[in-house]
Amino acid sequence: MRDPEVVVRVPGEPVGKDGVARLCDIAREGLAHGAAVVICDVRAVRRPSLGAVDLIARLALTARRGGGRVLLRGPDPGLLALLDLVGLAVGVEMPGETEQREEPGGVEEAVHRGDPPL
C-alpha cells in the first residue's frame, strides 16, 4: 500500500542550496512512489524569513511538477502572513484532515422537515 503523503521537515535555520535540493529530492522521491501530498512540517520555523518562503515555494513547485500539492503543518502566523504577502498560496493542514478524514463537529448532512431554523 502506498503512503498518500510525504513529510518534509523544514528546519528552523537556513539550509542553503544543498539543503534545499536535498529536501526537494525527498519530496520528489515520495511523489514518484505514489504520494499525492507533500506535507511541509514548518513547526521549527519560528522566525519567518524569505529563505523559508523560497524553500516552501520550491517544494510547492516540486509537488506540482510531480502531480501533487503542498500542505503546511504547524505554520507560525508570521510565516502565513509572509507567504500571503509574496502571493504564495499554499494550503494548511488542519487537524484530522489527512489522517482521520472526520466530519467537522456541528455540521448536519441534511435538514429534516420540522427542524427549527438556527
Tell whether 31 is covered by a domain.
yes
Closest CA to 93 of 50, 44, 55, 42: 42
Identify whether 118 is part of a domain.
no
Write the CATH number for 59. 3.30.750.24
pLDDT at position 93: 78
Q: What's the chain's Rg over C-alpha atoms?
A: 17
Q: Report the distance separating Cα 48 and Cα 19, nearest Å.
A: 17
Q: How far apart are CA 38 and CA 59, in angstroms?
A: 8
Average pLDDT score over residue span 32-43: 94
- d(Cα 94, Cα 61) in Å, to the nearest integer? 21
Q: How remote is the C-alpha of 43 from its chain's centroid?
A: 11
Q: How many domains does the structure of the chain reveal?
A: 1
pLDDT at residue number 110? 54
Confirm whether 117 is domain-assigned: no
Instruction: Report residue 104's pLDDT band, with 50, 70 and 90 as the boundaries.
Output: very low
Whether 105 is in a domain gets the answer no
- Per residue in 39-89, pLDDT tens? 999 999 999 999 999 999 999 999 999 999 999 999 999 999 999 999 988
- Domain residues for the domain of 81 are 5-92
Q: How far apart are CA 60 and CA 6, in angstroms?
A: 13
Residue 21 lies in a domain: yes
Least confident of 31-35, 46-50, 100-104: 100-104
pTM: 0.76
